Amino acid sequence: MPNMKKYIEIIIHISVWTIGYILILKNVNTIGDFRKDTGPFWIPILLGTLMNLTVFYVTAFILVPNFLRQKRIITLILLLSGGFIAINLLESFIDYNWLVAHFSSERESFTSFLFYNSSISFFILLFALTYALIKYWIQNEKLKRELLEEKLTTEMAFLKSQINPHFLFNVLNSFYAKSLKHDVPELADGISKLAQLMRYMVYETNDDKVKLINEINHLKNFIEIYKLRLAKEDDVTIKLDVYSEIENVMLSPMLLIPFVENAIKHGIDPKEKSVISISITIKAKQLHFKVTNTIHQSPFELTNEHSGFGLDNLKKRLSVLYPNKHIVETKEEIGNFISLLILQLD
């Protein structure tokens, strides 16, 4: 269905421009210096149509979508102004120096051609801007609606499977006390970290922004809990390094954990040497988050295939939370899978 809509849009565009060209050719006898009875009238009409096509599609499908999403309004205005002047100078030059000599018996000044062409192009430019802004708004609203629907679906799934958090925390506290009583400090530490993990997810991620240091502590707890599943003889290494001052850095919650979940899910096989390396760096108000994991043919999965946020959902979240302010890259390199997230921080 989405592909069909795309084809319908293309068909509509082709039809509108074709019908417009034919109507002008059939019903207009004079355009500027050009007369239908003095030569192949269709050639100057075709040139003008091609120039207007260029103005419309470069504006509506290239300049406005790219620079508006990046909020580079001044650059957009400069490019639109420069392109508008350039294309009208080009069209007027062709009209004045070539087409009039072949297809017209009259000859107005170059300024007249420039004024006439610019007037038409200006209306085409306004139409292109209107079209692009409406389309941008519709796409933005659609993306927000999809994100909201996904959020509601996720929340509903969570609520369906949720036991009262206070009950869970009380149970964990009871287990923690019993593990200390029976002198099992490793289990007690794991239960404590699990409680912290749940408390963070349930209570501390409701704000739009959280401290990066809290997200990192969440990652550390997640990793430590996972390590409890490993035997002492398993050759598995998971390390997390922070290379910058992060005390005052804020970001949207739960953006980092999907990368770590993905690395553990696909990058650990207890029967083979497995290494996961996580690094966090702040450079020029940018967060660089890199996760590298060993590639295995038969990964030992952390959870079932439906668990976790998933990288696809994460990319959708980023497109709304950090539009044109993020980069997500994944690649394979010498037996390792590398995931990189770059966020432009406020």
What are the extents of the domains in the chain?
A: 2-151, 233-344
pLDDT digits (tens, 9 = 90+) for 287-305: 999 999 998 765 444 444 4
- Beta bridge pairs of residue 342: 288, 327
Classified by CATH at the fold level, domain 233-344 comes out as: Heat Shock Protein 90 (3.30.565)
Q: Is the pLDDT of residue 156 over 70?
A: no
Looking at the predicted structure, is the pLDDT value of residue 215 above 90?
A: yes
The closest alpha carbon to 320, from 99, 146, 109, 85, belongs to 146
Task: Write the single-letter amino acid at 308.
Answer: G
Name the H helices within the chain. Answer: 2-27, 42-58, 64-69, 73-94, 100-103, 110-161, 165-181, 185-203, 212-227, 257-267, 311-321
Asked if residues 254 and 224 have their Cβ atoms less than 8 Å apart, the reply is no
Average pLDDT in the chain: 80
239's enclosing H/E stretch is strand 236-242
Q: Are strands 236-242 and 274-283 parallel, antiparallel or unpaired?
A: parallel
pLDDT digits (tens, 9 = 90+) for 89-136: 988 888 777 776 555 555 667 787 788 888 888 999 999 999 999 988
How far apart CA 186 and CA 192 sit, in angstroms, is 10
3-state secondary structure 71-107: CCHHHHHHHHHHHHHHHHHHHHHHHHHHHHHHHCCCC
Kind plus residue range of the DSSP H or E element containing 234: none
d(CA 77, CA 63): 10
What pLDDT does 68 receive?
Answer: 84
Average pLDDT for residues 146-160, to the nearest whole number?
Answer: 66
pLDDT attached to residue 268: 87
Tokens of 125: 């430019």
Q: Is 70 helix (H, G, I), strand (E, B) or coil?
A: coil
Average pLDDT over residues 23-30: 69
